[in-house]
């Protein structure tokens, strides 16, 4: 898999970075959770996501457009927040952080929240899933998972350090992307469903199957007692599995679903995420 990048600075100070994965014919866009059900779920979920609005980020000179070409030739589009110093000058990145969002978000909503990672010397990436916003393709769970497997692998070839953050559906996607042969430094899985097989999807994509003793020391699972989107019955089995294999866990008594918290709780949650990703520790939680 090969990565291509562009360093041409456009008049708008937005650079388009192109990654390329060898395009091969595959059937990743076939439904695996029931032809009608999967299409219906993604139609409902994606309808809750706002339209992409590049004006949200054009005022940020350190944010540039990014794209990734998947193995089946589709283009995922999003943004990269450039690693920089205290003078707001771009610097060579020491690694990357990649976010996989919940299904009701688009990349321009989230990218500016990644400034702490860029300030810490990392290039921070967020992409819209295939079929969302301006990304190509059909919204299919198997395809989205495969896209992120390729994306993590590609970034891993480019950077020495890889940090992964998946929220809600993105947590499921990230856990499936973490394979034994794909290097990553640490990952935070925030408010992910434990299983989709309960809804007719194949068991092999269930998140509880992807936290193992081999990757446990590098994974933090966060759940919220006040989560109004995914209740404790849907998230607790994943947290319990994480505890069984020795992963880090944090159950926030006041946590709602990610990005639905009060501002004070949101700040607390994101500090927890940042401290684990950057330093491998919990500041107010226990293993």
Mean predicted confidence (pLDDT) in 38-57: 63
For residue 279, what pLDDT band results from cuts at 50, 70 and 90?
Answer: very high
SS3 73: coil
Q: Which of 103-107, 150-154, 185-189 has the lowest mean pLDDT?
A: 103-107
SS3 235: helix
Q: What is the CB neighbour count within 10 angstroms for residue 38?
A: 21
What is the per-residue pLDDT across 75-88, written as a single tens digit (0 to 9) for each? 999 999 999 999 99
Closest CA to 253 of 221, 274, 218, 222: 222
Return the higher-pLDDT residue of 147 and 15.
147
The answer to whether 108 and 57 are in contact (CB under 8 A) is yes
pLDDT at 41: 59
For residue 198, what pLDDT band results from cuts at 50, 70 and 90?
Answer: confident
* CB burial of residue 284 (10 Å; 0-12, 13-18, 19+): exposed
Cα dihedral sign for 176, 177, 182, 185? negative
d(CA 98, CA 110): 12
- The percent of residues above 70 in pLDDT, for the chain, comes to 83
The answer to whether 64 and 82 are in contact (CB under 8 A) is yes
Q: What is the pTM of this model?
A: 0.85
Backbone angles phi, psi at 69, to 5 degrees: -95, 120
pLDDT at 199: 82
pLDDT at 44: 52
pLDDT at 11: 29
The answer to whether 220 and 192 are in contact (CB under 8 A) is no
pLDDT > 70? residue 36: no
pLDDT at 157: 93
pLDDT > 70? residue 16: no
d(CA 271, CA 2): 34
Instruction: Return all residues near 59 (Cβ < 8 A) that are at least 6 apart.
Output: none
For residue 22, what pLDDT band results from cuts at 50, 70 and 90?
Answer: very low
The CA-based dihedral angle spanning residues 279, 153, 135, 16, taken in that order and rounded to the nearest 10 degrees: 80
For residue 47, what pLDDT band results from cuts at 50, 70 and 90?
Answer: low
d(CA 77, CA 107): 8
Q: Classify domain 17-279 by CATH number.
A: 3.40.50.1820
pLDDT at 51: 66
The answer to whether 83 and 92 are in contact (CB under 8 A) is yes
């Amino acid at each position: 898999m090969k990565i291509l990048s562009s360093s041409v600075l456009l008049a708008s100070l937005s650079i388009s970075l192109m990654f390329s994965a060898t395009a091969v014919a595959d059937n990743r866009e076939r439904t695996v959770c029931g032809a009608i059900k999967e299409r219906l779920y993604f139609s409902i979920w994606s309808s809750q996501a706002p339209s992409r609005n590049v004006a949200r980020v054009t005022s940020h000179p350190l944010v540039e457009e990014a794209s990734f070409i998947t193995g089946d030739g589709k283009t995922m589009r999003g943004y990269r927040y450039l690693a920089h110093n205290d003078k707001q000058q771009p610097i060579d990145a020491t690694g990357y952080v990649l976010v996989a969002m919940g299904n009701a978000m688009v990349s321009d909503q989230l990218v500016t929240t990644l400034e702490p990672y860029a300030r810490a010397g990392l290039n921070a990436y967020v992409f819209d899933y295939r079929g969302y916003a301006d990304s190509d393709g059909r919204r299919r769970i198997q395809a989205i998972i495969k896209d992120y497997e390729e994306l993590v692998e590609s970034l891993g070839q480019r950077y020495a350090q890889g940090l992964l953050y998946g929220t809600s559906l993105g947590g499921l996607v990230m856990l499936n992307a973490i394979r034994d042969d794909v290097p990553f430094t640490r990952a935070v899985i925030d408010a992910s469903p434990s299983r989709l097989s309960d809804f007719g999807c194949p068991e092999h994509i269930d998140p509880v199957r992807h936290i193992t003793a081999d990757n446990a020391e590098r994974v933090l699972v966060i759940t919220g007692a006040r989560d109004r989107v995914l209740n404790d019955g849907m998230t607790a089995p994943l947290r319990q599995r994480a505890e069984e294999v020795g992963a880090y866990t944090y159950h926030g008594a006041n946590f709602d679903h990610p990005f639905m918290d009060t501002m004070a709780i949101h700040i607390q949650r994101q500090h927890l995420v940042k401290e684990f990703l950057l330093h491998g520790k919990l500041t107010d939680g226990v293993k």
